[in-house]
Amino acid sequence: MKYKRILLKLSGEALMGSRQYGIDPERLSEYAQDIKQIIEKDVEVAIVIGGGNIFRGVAGASNGMDRVQGDHMGMLATVINGLALQSALENEGVPTRLQTAIKINEVAEPFIRRKAMRHLEKGRVVIFGGGTGNPYFTTDSAAVLRAIEIEADVILKGTRVDGIYNADPEKDKAAIKFDQITFDDVIRKGLKVMDTTAFTLSQENRLPIIVFDMNKRGNLMKVMRGEKIGTEVNF
């Protein structure tokens, strides 16, 4: 395997499958099976998952809701998704721990860096819920922050698209895909990989990002083997 310890970033929307909202059990099961394959190869896996399939703080704020309140609701949505993914992984026989940035002791451990790293060393998947625990920060920022804290080798951003393009491939059929691109080029071209805070934090800490299509079975394993899947953002 090319990487020993990874941070997998999943969007909440990806869990919807073909649904309009909520969680598609079939899609969840597919993710769990793909993650199990790389766990069996002794890869240490941490996961940050979004909450957009349930609630978005920004959307709530645009409808007149207090932004801080809305963001806290979004954090709770990521915990719901984390619990769902934990259940799916454990159904596949993968030991999993859910840690949250906001204390919900009845359902998850609080985030403790040393404890998270110990879980990873023991072969457990660690899911980080609750974002960073602060409003105004996205789950992209949480993913980069946690990846740096646990000393991950790479951030794998699993999306519905098979990489980074110069335009939205779902809207523009002539969009050109990049197999590899530097952090500086992403900024210069104004490409949307992650939000600016997360992207800058990743760049400053020299943490590469690979954007790939998580919805295609087997892609996660291909990325781990070093195959040219998706787009790699490096230096």
Structural domains in the chain, CATH included, are 1-160 (3.40.1160.10), 162-190+200-208 (no CATH)
Which residues, at least 6 apart from 122, have a Cβ–Cβ distance to it below 8 Å? 95
Q: Which residue stretches of the chain have pLDDT < 70?
A: 57-62
Tokens at 14, concatenated: 């990806």
The C-alpha atoms of residue 105 and residue 31 are separated, in whole angstroms, by 26
φ/ψ of 155, rounded to 5, equals: -105, 125
pLDDT for res 57: 58
Please check whether residue 175 is in contact with residue 168, taking contact to mean a CB–CB distance below 8 angstroms. yes
Which amino acid is located at 8 in the chain?
Answer: L
Helix ranges (DSSP H) in 92-195: 113-121, 139-149, 183-189
Under 8 Å between Cβ of 164 and 170: no
| Structural tokens at position 121 | 């060393």
In angstroms, the Cα distances linking 80 to 52, 77, 167 are 11, 5, 32
Pairing state between β 164-165 and 177-178: antiparallel
